[in-house]
Amino acid sequence: MNPPTTFRVIVIASCVLASACDSPGPKRIDDTTSSMRETKTTVDRGNEQVSTVMTAATAVETAQDRKRAFEQFSKACDRLEGDAKDVQSSWDKLKTRTADYVKAWEADAAKLSSVDSKQVASARREAFTARVATIQADLDAAKASYTDLKAKLSDIRIMLANDLTAEGVASVKPAIEAAQKVAVQLKENVAKLSQALDAEITRSSTAAPPAAK
């Protein structure tokens, strides 16, 4: 075998060995946890906006300038709706990445030669999938509360837009109180969702935990 041929064989063999050992797995889980962080950020921002919009709603009741207070309330409602859309968008992205990650994980696990290793991989994958399903359930609960709050805020907005008199504002007080109760439930649901995301981000991290002091 002449030197050029020998060199080509060595290069080809090196590439084969490198591709056999190289795995995109860590990047897949890193991409997934990155989407979880993005989702958590939008969720937390939305939760803060719930407080802002309810503060704006109650401010209309005592405002000297009711028109200005109503405008601030309307803007707060719009921002809350925008935040809700951001949460849904980031969650859709997370779902896609999670599905791709689990699918690739399953395909890689099928290549394992040991039955025991396959069982371990399967159990780990199923546990991860179950935790993501729990997060989905937390999101669904938050979405249900948000849908209820959105409807109540819309009613308040319409009523005030058409009757921003002293008596008109006073007549909306029961509706604001009802919305406040839903807002409390929504914030509890969103806080639970945020905590679940945070726990999974930590659990799925490929980085070493900080050293104990």
pLDDT at 209 over 70: no
What pLDDT does residue 206 have? 86
Statement: 23-202 belongs to CATH 1.10.10: no
Residue-wise pLDDT for 51-67, tens only, equals 999 999 999 999 999 99
Residue-wise pLDDT for 69-117, tens only, equals 999 999 999 999 999 999 999 999 999 999 999 999 999 999 999 999 9
What pLDDT does residue 6 have? 47
What is the distance between the alpha carbons of residues 31 and 96, in angstroms, rounded to a whole number? 11
Domain ranges of the chain: 23-202
Residue-wise pLDDT for 96-109, tens only, equals 999 999 999 999 99
pTM: 0.82
What is the distance between the alpha carbons of residues 18 and 23, in angstroms, rounded to a whole number? 10
**Alpha-helical runs (H) found in 22-65:** 25-62
What pLDDT does residue 24 have? 63
What is the distance between the alpha carbons of residues 122 and 149, in angstroms, rounded to a whole number? 41
